[in-house]
């Protein structure tokens, strides 16, 4: 059995897919989750996919004492992969303090407790939102970061700054921050996938829920951008590719290949697709005509974001392998399978 890894937010969307890849690579996984935006059922689903049931600790990482106690129990862990965070952009604008409190306290408490227990390796779930509206494309890791448009985005930027200071202060601490572009899709089994609470904010779950008849129609937020068809362009990445990148980052830490105490990598495919191209791909893959309407722009949306992927390729030995149709096909299969087994709306 390989090393023990603590995965905070391991019952969530990206966390659960990463747990599967870690188990496939023989890591011993301990999930920390408060189940505030996820379900404990995910653990059984991970077990049915991998044949291994990860250890589960229900812990609210905002609670400094409980976090310390639980990390102490697992002080033989090699490192932490930290996914646990609130992630709804719109909600974060309405409730900024909740977002700062939840996302930053959980980070601070985890760092403090792991440091006290001699766990020196950390992988952070960051976002391309830290680039704001970039001046040049594709976006390299050297692009200047900007104040993100939302408190959610700002917690990611602040967290990276905290990690930078922390890694400077403690030379035995090593961290990798992974800046995700737009993760979509689901595991090929159709057992796990994205399950937003209530009305989805993001494009892909909105599309699949509309096709499933749960939402009446998709609102396309603006077709007057300076792009090929006027709708915004994003770098969509399959969640399973993204999960694999975490395993690669972990091996970089294990093999001690880091060139700096805190390293940052973009995780995207390098290809941009417009909202209309995503809709067309969905219609082709599913054979369903999607009900949609072009409406006004959504505040805070930028015209184009896509990643330069060379750094992750060269230093992590990782490259996204799955294309847009595969992402959409897996998301649609997950939606149908999930709806067939539940009455959730
Ligand atoms: C947002 C966040 C990002 C976060 C990501 C995943 C910002 C600026 N972006 O990315 O940090 O990591 O979500 O949670 O904070 N769209 C529609 N109709 C919809 C929904 C979306 O037309 O109902 C369009 C949007 O205008 C956008 C594209 O689809 O052009 C993608 O939107 P979305 O899936 O919400 O992701 P981002 O806003 O790119």
The active-site residue out of 99, 152, 180, 206 is 152
Residue 196's pLDDT is what?
85
Go through the chain and tell me how many residues it has.
345
The Cα–Cα gap between 283 and 112 comes to 48
Among 124, 181, 133, 135, smallest CA distance to 158 is for: 124
What are the tens digits of pLDDT across the range 97-122?
999 999 999 999 999 999 999 999 99
Q: Tell whether the model's pLDDT for residue 18 goes beyond 70.
A: yes
With residue 59 as reference, give the H or E element that holds it. none
What are the tens digits of pLDDT across the range 228-255?
999 999 999 999 999 999 999 999 999 9
Residue 1's pLDDT is what?
57
DSSP string, 217-286: -EEEE-S-SSSSSSS-EE-EEEHHHHHHHHHHHHHHHHTT--SSSEEEEEES-S--EEHHHHHHHHHHHH
Among 84, 69, 74, 71, smallest CA distance to 4 is for: 74
Quick check: is 105 catalytic? no
The Cα–Cα gap between 94 and 200 comes to 16
Residue located nearest, by CA, to atom 7 of ligand 1: 129
Q: What is the mean pLDDT of residues 164-186?
A: 97
Ligand 1 centroid – CA 195 distance (Å): 16
Residue 343's pLDDT is what?
53
Q: Tell whether the model's pLDDT for residue 9 goes beyond 70.
A: yes
With residue 309 as reference, give the H or E element that holds it. none
Residue 345's pLDDT is what?
47
Ligand 1 centroid – CA 120 distance (Å): 34
State the average pLDDT for the chain. Answer: 96
Ligand 1 centroid – CA 31 distance (Å): 27
Of the pLDDT bands very low, low, confident and very high (cuts 50, 70, 90), residue 96 is very high
With residue 174 as reference, give the H or E element that holds it. strand 174-180
Residue located nearest, by CA, to atom 5 of ligand 1: 182
Ligand 1 atom closest to the Cα of residue 206 is 23
Ligand 1 in contact with 87 (CB < 6 A)?
yes
Residue 175 · residue 123 · CB < 8 Å: yes
Ligand 1 in contact with 220 (CB < 6 A)?
yes
Residue 16 · residue 83 · CB < 8 Å: no
Ligand 1 atom closest to the Cα of residue 129 is 11
What are the tens digits of pLDDT across the range 286-310?
999 999 999 999 998 999 999 999 9
Among 160, 151, 145, 55, smallest CA distance to 111 is for: 160
Q: What is the mean pLDDT of residues 319-342?
A: 93
Q: Tell whether the model's pLDDT for residue 175 goes beyond 80.
A: yes
What are the tens digits of pLDDT across the range 21-59?
999 999 999 999 999 989 999 999 999 999 999 999 999
Residue 197's pLDDT is what?
81
Ligand 1 in contact with 157 (CB < 6 A)?
no
Cross-strand bridge partners of residue 293:
219
Strands 273-274 and 233-234: antiparallel
Ligand 1 centroid – CA 39 distance (Å): 24
Ligand 1 in contact with 209 (CB < 6 A)?
no
Residue 128 · residue 266 · CB < 8 Å: yes
Exposed/middle/buried for residue 254 (C-beta within 10 Å: 0-12, 13-18, 19+): middle
Q: Tell whether the model's pLDDT for residue 62 goes beyond 60.
A: yes
> What Å distances lie between residue 4 and 22, 79, 178, CA to CA?
10, 7, 20
Q: Tell whether the model's pLDDT for residue 344 goes beyond 70.
A: no
Q: Tell whether the model's pLDDT for residue 84 goes beyond 80.
A: yes
The Cα–Cα gap between 239 and 153 comes to 20
Residue 195's pLDDT is what?
87
DSSP string, 119-153: --EEEEEEEGGGG-S-SSSSBPTTSPP---SSHHH
Residue 153's pLDDT is what?
97
Ligand 1 in contact with 273 (CB < 6 A)?
no
List phi, psi (to 5°) of 207: -65, -50
Among 186, 178, 274, smallest CA distance to 235 is for: 274
Question: What percentage of the chain has pLDDT greater than the value 90?
Answer: 94
- Burial readout 24-62 (b: 16 or more C-beta within 10 A, e: otherwise): eeebbbbbbbbeebbeeebbebbeebbebebebbebbbb
Ligand 1 in contact with 201 (CB < 6 A)?
yes
Among 175, 247, 259, smallest CA distance to 2 is for: 247
Cross-strand bridge partners of residue 182:
236
Ligand 1 atom closest to the Cα of residue 181 is 12
């Amino acid at each position: 059995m390989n090393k023990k890894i603590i995965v905070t937010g391991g019952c969530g969307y990206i966390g659960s897919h990463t747990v599967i890849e870690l188990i496939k690579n023989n890591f011993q996984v301990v999930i920390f989750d408060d189940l505030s935006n996820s379900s404990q059922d995910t653990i059984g689903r991970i077990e049915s996919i991998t044949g291994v049931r990860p250890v589960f600790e229900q812990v609210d990482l905002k609670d400094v004492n409980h976090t310390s106690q639980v990390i102490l129990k697992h002080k033989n862990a090699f490192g932490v992969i930290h996914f646990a965070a609130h992630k709804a952009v719109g909600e974060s604008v309405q409730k900024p303090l909740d977002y700062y409190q939840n996302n930053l306290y959980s980070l601070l408490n985890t760092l403090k407790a792991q440091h006290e227990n001699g766990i020196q390796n950390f992988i952070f779930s960051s976002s391309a939102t830290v680039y704001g509206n970039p001046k040049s494309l594709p976006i390299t890791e050297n692009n200047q970061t900007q104040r993100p448009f939302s408190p959610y985005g700002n917690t990611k930027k602040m967290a990276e700054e905290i990690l930078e200071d922390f890694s400077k202060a403690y030379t035995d601490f090593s961290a990798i921050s992974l800046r995700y572009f737009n993760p979509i899709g689901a595991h090929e089994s159709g057992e796990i996938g994205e399950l937003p609470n209530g009305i989805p904010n993001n494009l892909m779950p909105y599309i699949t829920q509309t096709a499933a008849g749960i939402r009446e129609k998709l609102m396309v937020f603006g077709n007057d951008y300076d792009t090929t068809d006027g709708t915004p362009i994003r770098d969509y990445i399959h969640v399973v590719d993204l999960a694999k990148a975490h395993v690669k980052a972990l091996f970089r830490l294990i093999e001690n290949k880091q060139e700096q105490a805190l390293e940052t990598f973009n995780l995207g495919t390098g290809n941009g697709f417009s909202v209309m191209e995503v809709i067309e791909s969905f219609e082709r893959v599913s054979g369903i005509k999607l009900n949609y309407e072009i409406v006004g722009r959504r505040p805070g949306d930028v015209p184009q974001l896509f990643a330069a992927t060379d750094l992750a390729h060269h230093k992590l030995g990782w490259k996204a392998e799955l294309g847009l149709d595969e992402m959409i096909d897996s998301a649609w299969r997950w939606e149908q399978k999930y709806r067939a087994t539940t009455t959730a709306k």
